[in-house]
Structures are given as structure tokens and as C-alpha cells.
Amino acid sequence: MYKLLFLQFFRSRMTVLAIVLLLLAAGLSFFNGKQFLAQQQKHFKEVEKSQSAHIQKLVQYHKDDFGLLMYYLRFSLLHKTPALAALSTGQSDVNSRIAFVTIRALEAQKYDADIQNPYSLTVGKLDFSFVLVYLFPLVIITFLFNLYAEEKEKGTWPLLAVQSGKGFRVLFAKWLIRSAVVMVLLLLSLVLAVCWIGIPLNMDFFAYAGHSFLYLLCWLLLGFVIVLLRKNSGVTAVLLLSVWMAFTLLLPAVINELIAVRYPVKEAYAAQLAQRDGYHKKWDTDKQATMDKFYAVYPQMKKYPLPSATFSWLWYYAMWHLGDEEAKPDTQAMRQKLKRRQAAAQKAGWFLPPVRLRQQTESLAETDLENYLLFQDSTARFHEKLRLHFYPLIFSDAKAETENWQAFRPEYFSPRVKASQNIVPQVIWMVLLVTLIFYLRNEKQSRI
């Protein structure tokens, strides 16, 4: 029986068309992903080249004034992009993965946006995540909506029903074949991704594959439940599409709105003003008071007393740092707000499989908000490390040639935080759906 059902399935023109379109979309998404990785690599190389040329040139011009040299010098911290990010771009086109900073106030530099076309961002990126979240379920719908209805409408249903226990076995067999084909398509896509983009076969990749598998299984089960309502093909198609629209388009967007309204983030702007005022207003305040605040933060700098001159690099860099310090309450408040938004989105993931899939895969690909916040933290530590290294040299008025500038190459940062990878919500969904399938498996007196 299975062989015949299999052949019957593939004879349909729609099946073939759906498969072709899906594979084309997946192929394009892989091409796009590969370009994305290549572009990231290119940008990193540009920063490397720029940094070394930049240091060389400036050291030459300002070898006698270390303080002035450090005003201009920039150092970079780069957020490594794992190959998996080619499949799941996440927020990496919105949040910059390059920090190229001077030792002056970090708060004024940390949030600098990268160059992006807002129109492209609005239309959305064609990565494999999009294909997986939106297109695969549509293909599943195309395969399943006719499962029962085509037999009923062609008149072959009574014949099939008579042959095997109320017909459920036939429906199940048909469903199984379609599910197998969908899983094979997923496997094919993943294999293509690995070969074409060169994704390493590590735990992260297998977790990604696992999540994808579970997600599609949920859709297959959901489709089966709706098919078992035994409506005609038109109504089934409409129902399936409405569910698809609700879960992938409407409900996540509604949740996004709710989160945005519930947690407006205005702390960001307060932090900016606090940092700017915190630094600039010090020009007009008592120098010793400023230095006392600076020594309180870095007691080891007490050995550099404030010179009597109107302007000194010690006082200047102390002011810059205190700008950051004064902005701290606001930056921390902003952090809290973002974390609250993130937590709310996590909760939404329990009810909406597409949201959960996106969260988990973006976390694996290190392109989510959590990882970006870690990168920002790391930038702050990087910044402090640089400052503490250069402060003594500036404050003691060292000569530029005493420093080994070759040692300053761009550093790479690789975060290691993963959003909850447990599959409890998915399992709950599947249990719920399987229960419904058992409940609906026998034909009821339907009104149609």
C-alpha cells in the first residue's frame, strides 16, 4: 500500500511544484548566508588592515605627545561569527559586530550603528530561518490539506475506508509518507547547507537540526489534526492557512507590540545625555573634585597627582571616564529594560513554536540579543583593559616608541551563552496534538 500511496503523492503537479519552490528558496537562502559570512570576514579584514595602518601613521605623527596620540588611536574588538549564523542571521544585521573604539568615553561609541539599508531590514532577510519558519510549514500545508478531502471528493473514500479499520490507517499511511518526504527535504537542505557553506558538524549544528526537526514535526501533527476534522479541501486549506498566519505572522507581531508598549526603552537616551554632560560639564568644575572622584574609582592612579597647569592629560582622561561612570545608572537601567523585554519574549516562546524556534536557533548561531549584550559587556572590559594599560603611560608622559605597537592587533570575542535549549514546550505541543489525533481518529457524524 505504501508504495502506491507514495507514487500517487508524487504524481500530483502541486507536490512537485511545492518541492521545487522550497528547494529553490532554500538554495537562495544558503547563497545569501554564504555571502553574509563572506561579508563579515571582509569587514573584519578591513578593520585589521585599518587598525595597523592607523596605529603606524598616528604613532609617527604624535610620538612626542602620548596623551594626544591616545586621543586618536582606535582599537577593535570583533564579535566572531560562527558558520551557523549563515542559517540564522538573527539580529546581526541590526546590531553591529565590530567595536572600533578610542579610550575616550565608551558610552558615546558603544552603540554606533553599522551601515545598513533600512528598507532591506524592513523587507526582511532571506535566510534559512525564514525558509524553515514560514515556507516549510506552507509546504506541509500543501501536502496535507488534501489528505482526506481528495479521496472523499473523488469518491474513492468509501472503498479505502472499508479496507482498513474506519480508514484511519489509510490516512495515517498517507500522512506518514508526506511527513517522511518533508523530513527528507529538511535533511537534504541541511546537507546542502553543510556542504555549500561549510558548517562544522558540532553539537550546535546537531542541536539546530534537532530543533528544526521538532518544529516541522509539530506542524505535521497540527496539520494532521485539522485534516482529521474531515472537512472538504477548501475549508481545510483555509483552516490550515489561518492557523499558519496566526502562529507565524499575527500572534508574534501582536506579542512584539505588547512588549514594546509595556517596556518602552527611553533609558538609552538618558544614558547618552548623562555621559555627554558628565564629561563636558567637568571642564567647568573644580579639577581636584574631579580627580578625587577618579581616584575613588582607580586608587592605583593616586600616584599621579594633579599638575598645576590649566590643562593636563591626567585631568582630561579622568573627565572622560567619569562621563561613563555618571551614565552608569542609566545604562544599567537600560540593560534591565532590555532583559525584561527578552524575558517576556522567552515566555511567548512557550506558546508559539515559531518564536521558540527562532530564539533557540539564534542563540545557537550567536546572533541574538543575549549574545549582543555579552559582546557589549566584553567591549566594556576590553575598553577598561586598554585604559588601565595606557593611563600610566599617558600620565607619566612616556615616549610613544617605548610601546610595542605591533602587539595591538584586533581581538576576537566569542560569547558562550545559550538561551534555554530545553524542548519542553515543543514536547507539550506534541503531546497535546497526539492526544487530539487519538480523539479525532474515528469518523464522527459530520455535518458536511
Partner 1 sequence: MKNGRIYLVARQFFLQAIRSRMTILLWILFSVLSVYAAVSAWQQYITHDEVMDSFQQQARKSWEENPDKHPHRMAHFGTYAFRPKAAMSILDPGLDYYTGNAVFLEAHKQNPVNFSEAGMSGGMVRFGSLSVSVLLQVVLPLILLFLGFGSIASDKETGNLRLLVSQGATMPALIFGKAIGLFILALLFMMPGLLCGSMALFFAPAGADAGQGVWRFGWYALSYLLFAWIGAVSIVLLSAFSKTAKESLLKGLGCWLVLAILLPRVLQTIGELRFPVPSRTAMETAVEEELIKEGDSHNPDDPHFKAIRDSVLKANNTDSVEKLSFNYGGLLSMIGEEKSTVIYNRHLEKLYKQFKRQNQVSQLAGLVNPFNAIRDLSMISASTDMETYLSFQRQAEAYRYKLAQTMNSLQKQFIPNRKPGPNDPPYTISKSHWKELEDFRYQPLPVNRSLSGAWMAAAGLGVWLVLTVFLAGIYSRKASVI
Kindly identify the residues of this chain, within the stretch 38-67, that bind partner 1 according to CB under 8 A: 39, 42-43, 46-47, 50, 58, 61-62
Q: What is the DSSP letter of 106?
A: S
Contact 91, 367 (CB under 8 A): yes
Ranges of H-type helices in 298-423: 313-351, 353-364, 369-395
Cell numbers given for 121: 531590514
Applying the rule CB under 8 A, the residues between 234 and 253 that interact with partner 1 are 234, 237-238, 241, 245, 249-250, 252-253
* Residue 446 interacts with partner 1 (CB under 8 A): yes or no: no
Nearer to partner 1, 130 or 413 (CB): 130
Cell numbers given for 326: 555618571
Whole-number minimum distance, CB 344 to partner 1, in Å?
Answer: 6
* Residue 255 interacts with partner 1 (CB under 8 A): yes or no: yes
How many other CB atoms are there within 10 angstroms of residue 384's CB atom? 15
In whole angstroms, give the CA distance from residue 441 to residue 433. Answer: 12
In single-letter form, the type of residue at position 133 comes to V
Applying the rule CB under 8 A, the residues between 210 and 239 that interact with partner 1 are 233-234, 237-238
The number of C-alpha atoms within 13 Å of 18 and in the hemisphere containing its C-beta is 21
Judged by CB under 8 A, which of 342, 376, 378, 414 binds partner 1? 342
The number of C-alpha atoms within 13 Å of 397 and in the hemisphere containing its C-beta is 4
Judged by CB under 8 A, which of 77, 81, 84, 95 binds partner 1? 95
Nearer to partner 1, 276 or 293 (CB): 276
In whole angstroms, give the CA distance from residue 49 to residue 42. Answer: 11
Pairing state between β 98-101 and 75-79:
antiparallel
Applying the rule CB under 8 A, the residues between 124 and 183 that interact with partner 1 are 124-126, 129-130, 134-135, 138, 153
Site size for partner 1, by CB under 8 A?
A: 102
* Residue 417 interacts with partner 1 (CB under 8 A): yes or no: no
Nearer to partner 1, 100 or 298 (CB): 100
Contact 329, 270 (CB under 8 A): no
Nearer to partner 1, 90 or 437 (CB): 90
Cell numbers given for 126: 532571506
The stretch near partner 1 (CB under 8 A) out of 31-39, 223-231, 386-394, 440-448 is: 31-39
Nearer to partner 1, 377 or 431 (CB): 377
Judged by CB under 8 A, which of 108, 170, 197, 433 binds partner 1? 108
Whole-number minimum distance, CB 147 to partner 1, in Å?
Answer: 14
In whole angstroms, give the CA distance from residue 14 to residue 145. Answer: 12
Whole-number minimum distance, CB 2 to partner 1, in Å?
Answer: 26
Whole-number minimum distance, CB 327 to partner 1, in Å?
Answer: 13
Whole-number minimum distance, CB 185 to partner 1, in Å?
Answer: 17
Mapping DSSP onto H, E and C, the string for 180-229 reads: HHHHHHHHHHHHHHHHHHCCCCCHHHHHHHHHHHHHHHHHHHHHHHHHCC
Residue with cell 481528495: 150
Judged by CB under 8 A, which of 41, 114, 191, 292 binds partner 1? 114
Encoded one letter per residue, x for contact with partner 1 by CB under 8 A and - for no contact, window 359-398 reads x--x-----xxx----------------------------
Whole-number minimum distance, CB 84 to partner 1, in Å?
Answer: 16
Beta-ladder partners of 76: 100
The stretch near partner 1 (CB under 8 A) out of 175-183, 276-284, 288-296, 431-439 is: 276-284
Question: What is the enclosing helix (H) or strand (E) of 174?
Answer: helix 168-197
